[in-house]
Structure 1
Amino acid sequence: MANPQPDDFDSLFNLEEEYYTEGYNLGVADGSRAGRIEGRLFGLEKGFEKFAAMGTLAGRNAVWEARISDQDSAAAEQSEFKLPKLSGGARLQKHLQTLFALTEAESLSTENNEDSVSDFDDRLKRAEGKVKVIEKLVSEGPLVFEASQPVASGSGNAQERRQIKIKRTDAGGESSMEDFNVRHARS
Protein backbone atom coordinates (compact mmCIF):
# COMPACT_ATOMS: atom_id res chain seq x y z
CA MET A 1 0.00 0.00 0.00
CA ALA A 2 1.45 3.32 -1.10
CA ASN A 3 1.40 6.14 1.32
CA PRO A 4 0.55 9.44 -0.46
CA GLN A 5 1.69 11.41 2.62
CA PRO A 6 5.31 12.58 2.43
CA ASP A 7 7.45 11.16 5.16
CA ASP A 8 8.79 13.66 7.69
CA PHE A 9 12.23 12.03 7.48
CA ASP A 10 12.67 12.27 3.67
CA SER A 11 14.55 15.58 3.97
CA LEU A 12 17.02 13.98 6.39
CA PHE A 13 18.07 11.42 3.81
CA ASN A 14 19.43 14.22 1.58
CA LEU A 15 20.83 16.39 4.37
CA GLU A 16 24.46 15.36 3.84
CA GLU A 17 24.23 15.99 0.08
CA GLU A 18 22.67 19.42 0.65
CA TYR A 19 25.43 20.49 3.06
CA TYR A 20 28.12 19.10 0.78
CA THR A 21 26.73 21.03 -2.21
CA GLU A 22 26.34 24.23 -0.20
CA GLY A 23 29.90 23.97 1.19
CA TYR A 24 31.35 23.18 -2.22
CA ASN A 25 29.66 26.19 -3.84
CA LEU A 26 30.81 28.53 -1.06
CA GLY A 27 34.35 27.14 -1.32
CA VAL A 28 34.46 27.66 -5.09
CA ALA A 29 33.28 31.26 -4.76
CA ASP A 30 35.74 32.04 -1.96
CA GLY A 31 38.60 30.26 -3.74
CA SER A 32 37.94 32.17 -6.95
CA ARG A 33 38.12 35.52 -5.19
CA ALA A 34 41.17 34.56 -3.12
CA GLY A 35 42.87 33.20 -6.24
CA ARG A 36 42.36 36.46 -8.11
CA ILE A 37 43.77 38.45 -5.21
CA GLU A 38 46.74 36.13 -4.79
CA GLY A 39 47.38 36.13 -8.54
CA ARG A 40 47.28 39.93 -8.64
CA LEU A 41 49.76 40.21 -5.76
CA PHE A 42 52.03 37.58 -7.32
CA GLY A 43 51.95 39.47 -10.62
CA LEU A 44 52.83 42.75 -8.94
CA GLU A 45 55.72 41.10 -7.10
CA LYS A 46 57.14 39.41 -10.21
CA GLY A 47 56.68 42.56 -12.30
CA PHE A 48 58.55 44.60 -9.69
CA GLU A 49 61.39 42.07 -9.62
CA LYS A 50 61.74 42.16 -13.41
CA PHE A 51 61.71 45.96 -13.57
CA ALA A 52 64.21 46.16 -10.70
CA ALA A 53 66.54 43.82 -12.59
CA MET A 54 66.17 45.95 -15.71
CA GLY A 55 66.87 49.08 -13.64
CA THR A 56 70.04 47.50 -12.25
CA LEU A 57 71.25 46.80 -15.77
CA ALA A 58 70.41 50.36 -16.86
CA GLY A 59 72.30 51.70 -13.84
CA ARG A 60 75.36 49.62 -14.68
CA ASN A 61 75.18 50.93 -18.23
CA ALA A 62 75.11 54.53 -16.95
CA VAL A 63 78.17 53.89 -14.76
CA TRP A 64 80.09 52.32 -17.63
CA GLU A 65 79.14 55.22 -19.92
CA ALA A 66 80.45 57.66 -17.31
CA ARG A 67 83.70 55.70 -16.96
CA ILE A 68 84.61 55.78 -20.64
CA SER A 69 87.81 57.78 -21.11
CA ASP A 70 87.01 61.35 -22.06
CA GLN A 71 89.87 63.81 -22.41
CA ASP A 72 87.57 66.85 -22.01
CA SER A 73 86.19 65.78 -18.64
CA ALA A 74 87.61 68.31 -16.17
CA ALA A 75 84.75 67.91 -13.69
CA ALA A 76 85.48 64.22 -13.23
CA GLU A 77 89.12 64.97 -12.36
CA GLN A 78 88.05 67.17 -9.42
CA SER A 79 85.90 64.51 -7.77
CA GLU A 80 87.38 62.78 -4.71
CA PHE A 81 85.65 59.49 -5.63
CA LYS A 82 87.12 58.17 -8.84
CA LEU A 83 86.48 54.97 -10.70
CA PRO A 84 89.07 53.78 -13.17
CA LYS A 85 88.46 54.95 -16.71
CA LEU A 86 87.46 52.42 -19.36
CA SER A 87 89.12 52.21 -22.73
CA GLY A 88 87.32 49.69 -24.86
CA GLY A 89 87.18 51.68 -28.06
CA ALA A 90 84.39 51.58 -30.59
CA ARG A 91 83.46 48.00 -29.75
CA LEU A 92 82.68 48.88 -26.12
CA GLN A 93 80.77 51.98 -27.22
CA LYS A 94 78.64 49.87 -29.56
CA HIS A 95 77.81 47.37 -26.81
CA LEU A 96 76.94 50.17 -24.38
CA GLN A 97 74.64 51.81 -26.93
CA THR A 98 72.90 48.50 -27.52
CA LEU A 99 72.53 47.95 -23.76
CA PHE A 100 71.09 51.44 -23.40
CA ALA A 101 68.54 50.74 -26.15
CA LEU A 102 67.53 47.48 -24.44
CA THR A 103 67.14 49.01 -20.96
CA GLU A 104 65.70 52.41 -21.85
CA ALA A 105 62.79 52.93 -19.44
CA GLU A 106 60.65 55.01 -21.80
CA SER A 107 60.49 52.22 -24.37
CA LEU A 108 59.57 49.46 -21.89
CA SER A 109 55.91 48.52 -21.92
CA THR A 110 54.02 48.12 -18.65
CA GLU A 111 50.98 46.53 -20.28
CA ASN A 112 49.89 43.14 -19.05
CA ASN A 113 49.36 41.16 -22.23
CA GLU A 114 51.22 38.27 -23.86
CA ASP A 115 53.09 40.34 -26.45
CA SER A 116 54.28 43.00 -24.00
CA VAL A 117 55.42 40.49 -21.39
CA SER A 118 57.17 38.39 -24.01
CA ASP A 119 58.91 41.48 -25.44
CA PHE A 120 60.01 42.60 -21.98
CA ASP A 121 61.36 39.14 -21.07
CA ASP A 122 63.22 38.99 -24.39
CA ARG A 123 64.77 42.42 -23.84
CA LEU A 124 65.77 41.49 -20.29
CA LYS A 125 67.49 38.28 -21.48
CA ARG A 126 69.29 40.15 -24.27
CA ALA A 127 70.36 42.90 -21.86
CA GLU A 128 71.70 40.33 -19.39
CA GLY A 129 73.69 38.74 -22.21
CA LYS A 130 75.00 42.14 -23.31
CA VAL A 131 76.11 42.88 -19.73
CA LYS A 132 78.12 39.65 -19.70
CA VAL A 133 79.88 40.70 -22.92
CA ILE A 134 80.64 44.16 -21.50
CA GLU A 135 81.91 42.66 -18.23
CA LYS A 136 84.38 40.59 -20.26
CA LEU A 137 85.47 43.64 -22.28
CA VAL A 138 86.12 45.78 -19.20
CA SER A 139 87.51 42.84 -17.18
CA GLU A 140 84.92 43.05 -14.43
CA GLY A 141 83.09 40.17 -12.82
CA PRO A 142 79.35 39.95 -12.37
CA LEU A 143 77.74 42.23 -9.83
CA VAL A 144 77.16 40.26 -6.61
CA PHE A 145 75.42 41.49 -3.48
CA GLU A 146 76.74 39.69 -0.42
CA ALA A 147 74.75 39.31 2.77
CA SER A 148 77.84 40.20 4.80
CA GLN A 149 78.06 43.69 3.27
CA PRO A 150 76.81 46.41 5.61
CA VAL A 151 73.68 48.19 4.49
CA ALA A 152 74.39 51.82 3.62
CA SER A 153 72.44 54.29 5.71
CA GLY A 154 69.35 55.49 3.92
CA SER A 155 69.04 52.39 1.77
CA GLY A 156 66.94 50.66 4.41
CA ASN A 157 67.21 47.34 6.16
CA ALA A 158 64.52 44.74 6.68
CA GLN A 159 62.73 46.84 9.32
CA GLU A 160 63.04 50.13 7.40
CA ARG A 161 61.96 48.95 3.95
CA ARG A 162 58.74 50.26 2.52
CA GLN A 163 55.76 48.02 2.98
CA ILE A 164 53.07 47.69 0.34
CA LYS A 165 49.60 47.98 1.76
CA ILE A 166 46.60 46.96 -0.27
CA LYS A 167 43.43 48.98 0.10
CA ARG A 168 40.22 47.94 -1.61
CA THR A 169 38.03 50.58 -3.16
CA ASP A 170 34.45 50.11 -4.20
CA ALA A 171 35.12 51.09 -7.82
CA GLY A 172 35.12 48.25 -10.30
CA GLY A 173 33.10 45.74 -8.36
CA GLU A 174 33.88 42.16 -7.49
CA SER A 175 34.85 41.03 -11.01
CA SER A 176 37.48 43.72 -11.60
CA MET A 177 41.02 43.21 -10.38
CA GLU A 178 41.75 46.92 -10.77
CA ASP A 179 39.84 47.61 -7.57
CA PHE A 180 42.96 47.32 -5.44
CA ASN A 181 44.97 50.49 -4.96
CA VAL A 182 48.56 50.16 -3.89
CA ARG A 183 49.87 52.72 -1.49
CA HIS A 184 53.24 52.85 0.21
CA ALA A 185 53.67 53.46 3.91
CA ARG A 186 56.58 53.36 6.32
CA SER A 187 56.38 50.65 8.91
Structure 2
Amino acid sequence: MANESIINKELSLEQREELLAILKDRFEKNMDRHQGLEWAKVQARLEANAEKLWSLNEMERTGGEPDVVGYEEGKDEYTFYDCSAESPTGRRSVCYDRKALDSRKKNKPENSAMDMAADMGIDMLTEEQYRALQEVGNFDMKTSSWVQTPSDIRERGGAIFCDYRYGHVFVYHNGADSYYAARGFRGLLRV
Protein backbone atom coordinates (compact mmCIF):
# COMPACT_ATOMS: atom_id res chain seq x y z
CA MET A 1 0.00 0.00 0.00
CA ALA A 2 2.78 2.47 0.85
CA ASN A 3 4.47 1.82 -2.50
CA GLU A 4 1.19 2.49 -4.26
CA SER A 5 0.99 6.02 -2.80
CA ILE A 6 4.60 6.70 -3.83
CA ILE A 7 3.85 5.57 -7.39
CA ASN A 8 0.75 7.74 -7.48
CA LYS A 9 2.84 10.78 -6.53
CA GLU A 10 5.09 10.57 -9.55
CA LEU A 11 4.36 12.29 -12.83
CA SER A 12 5.13 10.69 -16.16
CA LEU A 13 7.71 12.39 -18.38
CA GLU A 14 4.89 13.73 -20.53
CA GLN A 15 3.05 15.13 -17.48
CA ARG A 16 6.24 16.76 -16.17
CA GLU A 17 6.97 18.39 -19.53
CA GLU A 18 3.38 19.62 -19.86
CA LEU A 19 3.38 21.06 -16.32
CA LEU A 20 6.75 22.75 -16.77
CA ALA A 21 5.53 24.35 -20.01
CA ILE A 22 2.42 25.69 -18.23
CA LEU A 23 4.46 27.01 -15.30
CA LYS A 24 7.04 28.63 -17.60
CA ASP A 25 4.33 30.34 -19.64
CA ARG A 26 2.62 31.65 -16.49
CA PHE A 27 5.98 32.76 -15.05
CA GLU A 28 6.81 34.73 -18.21
CA LYS A 29 3.36 36.33 -18.43
CA ASN A 30 3.44 37.51 -14.81
CA MET A 31 6.96 38.85 -14.26
CA ASP A 32 5.62 41.45 -11.84
CA ARG A 33 5.05 38.62 -9.33
CA HIS A 34 8.72 37.59 -9.27
CA GLN A 35 10.92 40.42 -10.49
CA GLY A 36 14.60 39.54 -10.74
CA LEU A 37 14.04 35.77 -10.80
CA GLU A 38 15.03 33.56 -13.73
CA TRP A 39 12.88 30.71 -15.02
CA ALA A 40 15.92 28.51 -15.81
CA LYS A 41 16.90 28.45 -12.12
CA VAL A 42 13.33 27.74 -11.03
CA GLN A 43 13.03 24.91 -13.56
CA ALA A 44 16.34 23.37 -12.47
CA ARG A 45 15.10 23.35 -8.87
CA LEU A 46 11.79 21.78 -9.89
CA GLU A 47 13.46 19.08 -11.98
CA ALA A 48 15.62 18.16 -8.98
CA ASN A 49 12.52 17.77 -6.75
CA ALA A 50 10.07 15.40 -8.45
CA GLU A 51 7.79 15.21 -5.39
CA LYS A 52 7.35 18.99 -5.52
CA LEU A 53 6.38 18.74 -9.19
CA TRP A 54 3.65 16.31 -8.19
CA SER A 55 2.31 18.80 -5.62
CA LEU A 56 2.43 21.65 -8.15
CA ASN A 57 0.54 19.44 -10.58
CA GLU A 58 -2.14 18.91 -7.93
CA MET A 59 -2.34 22.68 -7.43
CA GLU A 60 -2.74 23.10 -11.19
CA ARG A 61 -5.20 20.21 -11.56
CA THR A 62 -7.52 21.69 -8.93
CA GLY A 63 -7.52 25.15 -10.54
CA GLY A 64 -4.93 26.95 -8.42
CA GLU A 65 -2.74 28.27 -11.25
CA PRO A 66 0.45 28.16 -9.13
CA ASP A 67 3.15 30.72 -9.79
CA VAL A 68 6.40 31.82 -8.16
CA VAL A 69 5.80 34.74 -5.81
CA GLY A 70 9.10 34.84 -4.00
CA TYR A 71 12.58 33.56 -3.34
CA GLU A 72 14.16 33.29 0.10
CA GLU A 73 17.89 33.61 -0.34
CA GLY A 74 18.84 32.36 3.13
CA LYS A 75 16.98 29.09 2.57
CA ASP A 76 17.58 29.05 -1.20
CA GLU A 77 13.85 28.36 -1.72
CA TYR A 78 11.30 29.46 -4.29
CA THR A 79 7.75 29.97 -3.05
CA PHE A 80 4.75 29.13 -5.23
CA TYR A 81 1.26 30.40 -4.33
CA ASP A 82 -2.07 29.63 -5.94
CA CYS A 83 -2.58 32.65 -8.20
CA SER A 84 -5.96 31.86 -9.76
CA ALA A 85 -8.16 34.96 -9.89
CA GLU A 86 -10.75 33.28 -7.67
CA SER A 87 -10.46 30.54 -5.06
CA PRO A 88 -9.45 27.33 -6.91
CA THR A 89 -12.55 25.67 -8.35
CA GLY A 90 -11.43 22.14 -7.54
CA ARG A 91 -11.09 23.00 -3.85
CA ARG A 92 -14.39 24.67 -3.04
CA SER A 93 -17.36 23.48 -1.01
CA VAL A 94 -15.11 22.11 1.72
CA CYS A 95 -15.26 22.70 5.45
CA TYR A 96 -12.14 23.72 7.36
CA ASP A 97 -10.64 20.51 8.83
CA ARG A 98 -11.24 16.84 9.64
CA LYS A 99 -12.73 17.62 13.07
CA ALA A 100 -15.30 19.89 11.42
CA LEU A 101 -16.04 17.30 8.72
CA ASP A 102 -16.54 14.53 11.29
CA SER A 103 -18.83 16.74 13.39
CA ARG A 104 -21.35 17.23 10.57
CA LYS A 105 -24.23 14.81 10.82
CA LYS A 106 -26.10 15.88 7.67
CA ASN A 107 -25.08 17.32 4.30
CA LYS A 108 -21.40 16.62 4.76
CA PRO A 109 -19.02 18.10 2.20
CA GLU A 110 -16.76 15.62 0.43
CA ASN A 111 -13.59 16.86 2.10
CA SER A 112 -11.95 19.48 4.28
CA ALA A 113 -9.46 22.18 3.30
CA MET A 114 -6.77 21.02 5.72
CA ASP A 115 -7.04 17.38 4.58
CA MET A 116 -6.91 18.35 0.91
CA ALA A 117 -3.84 20.54 1.47
CA ALA A 118 -2.06 17.72 3.33
CA ASP A 119 -2.97 15.21 0.61
CA MET A 120 -1.59 17.60 -2.02
CA GLY A 121 1.64 18.16 -0.08
CA ILE A 122 1.05 21.91 0.29
CA ASP A 123 0.36 24.34 3.13
CA MET A 124 -2.75 26.49 3.39
CA LEU A 125 -2.00 30.20 3.40
CA THR A 126 -1.93 32.05 6.68
CA GLU A 127 -3.69 35.40 6.99
CA GLU A 128 -0.31 37.13 6.63
CA GLN A 129 0.53 35.14 3.48
CA TYR A 130 -2.92 35.87 2.06
CA ARG A 131 -2.29 39.59 2.55
CA ALA A 132 1.13 39.23 0.88
CA LEU A 133 -0.54 37.51 -2.10
CA GLN A 134 -2.79 40.55 -2.56
CA GLU A 135 0.37 42.65 -3.00
CA VAL A 136 1.09 40.89 -6.32
CA GLY A 137 -2.47 41.06 -7.70
CA ASN A 138 -6.15 41.16 -6.82
CA PHE A 139 -7.49 37.73 -5.87
CA ASP A 140 -10.84 36.46 -4.51
CA MET A 141 -12.88 39.44 -5.64
CA LYS A 142 -15.96 37.17 -5.96
CA THR A 143 -14.98 34.17 -3.82
CA SER A 144 -13.31 33.59 -0.46
CA SER A 145 -10.59 31.29 0.85
CA TRP A 146 -10.10 29.49 4.15
CA VAL A 147 -6.78 30.40 5.80
CA GLN A 148 -4.90 28.78 8.66
CA THR A 149 -6.83 29.51 11.82
CA PRO A 150 -5.29 30.34 15.21
CA SER A 151 -5.79 27.50 17.69
CA ASP A 152 -7.79 29.60 20.17
CA ILE A 153 -10.40 30.32 17.49
CA ARG A 154 -10.44 26.73 16.26
CA GLU A 155 -10.85 25.39 19.83
CA ARG A 156 -14.09 27.37 20.04
CA GLY A 157 -15.43 25.80 16.83
CA GLY A 158 -14.57 28.63 14.46
CA ALA A 159 -12.29 29.10 11.49
CA ILE A 160 -11.28 32.15 9.49
CA PHE A 161 -11.38 32.97 5.80
CA CYS A 162 -10.43 35.96 3.68
CA ASP A 163 -11.49 37.76 0.54
CA TYR A 164 -10.60 40.95 -1.30
CA ARG A 165 -13.23 43.66 -1.74
CA TYR A 166 -13.16 47.45 -2.17
CA GLY A 167 -9.37 47.45 -2.37
CA HIS A 168 -8.96 45.72 1.02
CA VAL A 169 -8.42 42.26 2.47
CA PHE A 170 -11.26 41.26 4.76
CA VAL A 171 -10.91 38.54 7.40
CA TYR A 172 -14.07 36.82 8.61
CA HIS A 173 -15.05 33.95 10.84
CA ASN A 174 -17.46 31.08 10.37
CA GLY A 175 -18.17 27.76 11.98
CA ALA A 176 -15.37 25.42 10.87
CA ASP A 177 -17.99 22.93 9.68
CA SER A 178 -19.55 25.38 7.21
CA TYR A 179 -18.92 25.15 3.49
CA TYR A 180 -19.97 27.18 0.49
CA ALA A 181 -19.72 26.87 -3.29
CA ALA A 182 -17.77 30.14 -3.42
CA ARG A 183 -15.26 29.26 -0.67
CA GLY A 184 -12.18 27.13 -1.13
CA PHE A 185 -8.59 27.54 -0.02
CA ARG A 186 -5.28 28.70 -1.42
CA GLY A 187 -2.01 26.97 -0.82
CA LEU A 188 1.70 27.45 -1.06
CA LEU A 189 4.64 25.24 -1.85
CA ARG A 190 8.30 25.89 -1.15
CA VAL A 191 10.84 24.35 -3.51
Q: Which one has the bigger helix percentage?
A: 1
Q: Which has the higher contact order (CA 8 A, sep 6+)?
A: 2
Q: Which one has the bigger strand percentage?
A: 2
**Do Structure 1 and Structure 2 share a fold, with TM-score over 0.5?**
no
State the TM-score bracket (shorter-chain normalisation).
under 0.3
